[in-house]
Amino acid sequence: MDCIFCSIIAGEIPSTKVWEDDYCYAFRDINPQAKDHVVIVPRAHIESADKIYAGNSVYVSKIFEAIPKIAAALNLENGYRIITNIGEHGCQSVKHLHFHLLGGEQLPEKIV
Ligand code: AMP
């Protein structure tokens, strides 16, 4: 399967790791939209948040368990934002479920 995030997880494409555990891998975004911009991906290839079901939702819960630890490691005690883009209308460019963690500075106005 030709998936850039699967290749990053496999170490075939270099990345700047900030966290990893049995369920997820987190690395700095190559095109950061905030001082700290981390991409958190499940180790399993799941296309997007639209493809979550009982059989794979453990990856999502484990990612959300990891998020406070990643935020603490980055000293984001003043807050941060988590975003996931889904499909064409959601402007998802990489078809492997991922959560953007943005922080490290005052973020711009929120959409919602
Ligand atoms: P999305 O547009 O929500 O699918 O987000 C995909 C994100 O992956 C973008 O923010 C890209 O900058 C980021 N990205 C793509 N390729 C790489 C890479 N090789 N290393 C780090 N981040 C990447």
pTM reported for the whole predicted model: 0.98
Query: What would the mean pLDDT of 27-46 be, rounded to a whole number?
Result: 98
What was the pLDDT predicted at 1? 73
| Nearest-atom index, ligand 1, CA of 91 | 2
What was the pLDDT predicted at 61? 98
Cα distances (angstroms) measured from residue 82 to each of 10, 14, 93? 24, 23, 17
Active site residue 89: no
Measured CA to CA, the distance from residue 1 to residue 111 in angstroms comes to: 34
| Nearest-atom index, ligand 1, CA of 28 | 21
| DSSP state for residue 16 in the 8-state scheme | -
